[in-house]
Structure 1
Amino acid sequence: MDFLLERMTRQGLARQGTGQPAEVAASAFGLQAQDAAAARLGVRARSSGVDEAGVVQACEVQRSVVRTWLMRATVHLVAAEDLRWMAALFGPMIERRFANVRWRELGIDEGVIEAATPLAHEVLTGRQLTRREFAAELADRGIRLAEDPSAPTHLLMALSCRGVTCRAGDQGRDSTFALLDEWVPSGPAPADPMAELARRYFRAFGPATAADFTAWSGLPSGAAISAIRDELTEVGLHGRRGWTLGTVEPAPGVRLLPMFDNYLIGYRDRTGMLDPAVHGRIYVGGVVKATVLCDGRVLGIWRLQRSGRSVTVRVAPFERFTRRHLDELERERADLERFFGRPVGLTVDG
């Protein structure tokens, strides 16, 4: 199916380039990043020009890419130059989603957010704190959050929605948070952020439908698509009207995609991308498993097994692999070895 090859190519997965993390994040238009290790592997799948340490450095030292809550109120890794206008666009949607139910349950109301805003500037200036450290600093200053362990996360989400904070570096498995104004320099914003969002989506994910755009973004599609209608090329997709923006030369390829990869989350209709019979093996509760992608179709799942300094990629195929699949997987194994800087083995079940 040519449209699958085109999608794979637009996502940078067919021809692995040599771009740095910010280039990859801008081109793919964000990488799902609630799992930081998976986000790093998402960069790897789209570029042979950076290793794992280089992605960490881009996040924590260069600050050329940043993680925060954006599309669908989930954490994404985006180019720093895109962060501010995207946070301003998605912030109100995230507040509408959480304010009247979850935040109310946690006692996070407008008064708490307003009181926490100047204190966030006070306690985070020149520092990066974990959720627990941030909550402890607020408690010392009179703001005590609910005992629910998710309360600090939701308050930081609320502050991030208003452009106060963002995620910074990691301390082990814990994220730290910083002041957005300190972590990311200000820059120009698009004249019409909603139009730019649609423009970037159809460039990175097309061919796609209006329903796909809404499923990916969590925002209505009508005004966004209308704003750039003259820039889009209309195509038929699953019997519906779809669009692309710009042209690419579709190419085949095999790639090991990480958990939560854009390619598996960026569309409402996954017709052709995977056999409906295996849907439940990939989308498990709120988790999207790491997958084997060939020419835009999902042919299996995989996981990393670690032992000391060695790593093994264990693949579970959904169908019998050909010699081409096995050869391409060997190339992926070698690239993961380059990315991790340590030996990587490969095991294919069955």
Structure 2
Amino acid sequence: MTTTRASYTDAETRMTRARAQRLGVNRSRDPVEVVRDLVGVQAQDMPSARLALRPRTIGVTAADVRKCHDEDRTLVRIWAMRGTLHMVAAEDVGWLVGLLGPVFAAADQRRRDQLGLDDDLLDKAMPAVRGILGRHGPLTRADLVERLDAHRVRLDLKTQGPAHLVGYAAMTGLVCRGPDVEKGEPTYVLVEDWIGKQRTLEGDGALAELTRRYVASRGPVTPDDFKRWTGLPARQARHGFALVAEQLTEVETVSGTAFVLKGTTRRRPRREPAVELVGMFDEYLLGYANRDLVLDPRFAKRIQTGGFVKPAVLLDGRVVGTWSQKRTAGKVTITVEPFEDLTEVGPRLAGVVRDVGRFLETNSELRMGEPQ
């Protein structure tokens, strides 16, 4: 008997993905639960990483998220997907680094060699890093480099050498980010000291876990989406889908065949359009091979400038503008630069702006620019 695949319109694909990411629906009171479900949140800019949890949680503030990271140690920043800094649940650190770390450590070898970080230096540096952070951590990068000098590991802070050394230590499972200090400067700690013994998953077990959770949190998706999001080679990405094939359902989208986790309910747009503000580097824009489904190509350069993916205004899952914030004493001003007329959803947008203020624990004000 032939089974007919569910057919998703573009609007239904957007809404199903938004629900999978807990954007405005299915919110949680637990920020750790949300990060665990998403696998990770890009965190090269920590205020934006915290802000990513606002539209996905209820009653949570930026201070709550900071506490999870700096005090409770239930959220941890490591180099994971795409070799980029991510905030992940502490329980996921070990197996994620074990799966992804070797891929990106190998990819970075040429650059390390150019910086003088050859295997001999690394063999000397890693035990030194372990000893220094074990006795004195958390330490800033500058403090760590200063102490390494006594171990005959000499690095120039004016070069990228220290960053790549720390990156290698992180990708081999030795270190992770600790609490930020003054002006958001990061510190580094030993993983084993900061969060203790880690859950281990080997080989295909780790790849299957990552694939299943990726599909669950972002579907409908394709192996190519998974490849782009993880940074894994195409062959390994396809193998991940093969490992969990029995847990997936094929669906037809306008762009072709994609996959959702079995039991996923197709979501249709609401009668009243859903309005949301997502921050810089949000997973809704980073989680797929391209953004054509959610972003008119005419506006692509207004969303991404160089390596920065700007904060976006979403209307039923479509990007319809950018936004920025300016903090002053006792207030945050949210300025929206729309791509189209948003007059009809103005009251709902104002409500979202008030929620940004609640999350940041300050008053908030909306300023609306003219469509361009």
TM normalised by structure 1 equals 0.96
What whole-Å deviation, never above 9, does each CA across 1:171-200 have from its counterpart, x for those lacking one?
A: 122110000001112243346000111101
Moved over 6 A (4+): none
Task: Give the Å deviation of 1:109.
Answer: 1.6
Q: Give the corresponding residue for 1:177.
A: 188
Q: 1:147 to 1:168 in 2, by over 3 A?
A: closer
Q: Give the corresponding residue for 2:302.
A: 281
- CA–CA separation in structure 2 for the residues paired with 1:284 and 1:12: 26
What whole-Å deviation, never above 9, does each CA across 1:141-174 have from its counterpart, x for those lacking one?
A: 2100245432211111100111100001101221
Task: Give the Å deviation of 1:28.
Answer: 1.8
Aligned 8 A contact 2:142 2:157 in 1? no
Number of residue pairs aligned between Structure 1 and Structure 2: 348
Task: Give the Å deviation of 1:309.
Answer: 2.6
Given candidates 223, 226, 242, the residue that maps to 1:213 is 226
Q: Does 1:79 align with 2:89?
A: yes
Q: Is there any run of 5+ residues in structure 2 with no aligned partner, and where?
A: 1-10
Given candidates 244, 264, 273, the residue that maps to 1:228 is 244
Task: Give the Å deviation of 1:224.
Answer: 0.5
Q: Give the corresponding residue for 1:296.
A: 317
Q: Tell me, what secondary structure is at the counterpart of 2:186? A: strand
Task: Give the Å deviation of 1:16.
Answer: 5.8
Given candidates 328, 336, 360, the residue that maps to 1:340 is 360
Task: Give the Å deviation of 1:321.
Answer: 0.5
Q: Give the corresponding residue for 1:189.
A: 200
Task: Give the Å deviation of 1:249.
Answer: 5.7
What whole-Å deviation, never above 9, does each CA across 1:96-150 have from its counterpart, x for those lacking one?
A: 22102x1111111222222111111211115201111111110122100245432
TM normalised by structure 2 equals 0.90
Task: Give the Å deviation of 1:64.
Answer: 0.5
Task: Give the Å deviation of 1:208.
Answer: 0.8
Q: Give the corresponding residue for 2:5.
A: none
Report matched runs for 1:1-350 at 5 Å. 1-15=11-25, 17-100=27-110, 102-125=111-134, 127-146=137-156, 148-171=158-181, 172-190=183-201, 192-219=205-232, 220=234, 221-246=237-262, 247-248=264-265, 250=267, 252=270, 253-323=274-344, 325-350=345-370
What is the aligned-residue RMSD (CA, Å)? 1.5
Q: Is there any run of 5+ residues in structure 1 with no aligned partner, and where?
A: none
Q: Given residue 55 of structure 2, which amino acid in structure 1 is its aligned partner? A: A
Q: 1:343 to 1:277 in 2, by over 3 A?
A: same
- CA–CA separation in structure 2 for the residues paired with 1:255 and 1:62: 29
Aligned 8 A contact 1:116 1:138 in 2? yes
- CA–CA separation in structure 1 for the residues paired with 2:243 and 2:275: 35
Q: Tell me, what secondary structure is at the counterpart of 2:52? A: helix
- CA–CA separation in structure 1 for the residues paired with 2:357 and 2:101: 38
Q: Tell me, what secondary structure is at the counterpart of 2:71? A: helix
Q: 1:248 to 1:134 in 2, by over 3 A?
A: farther
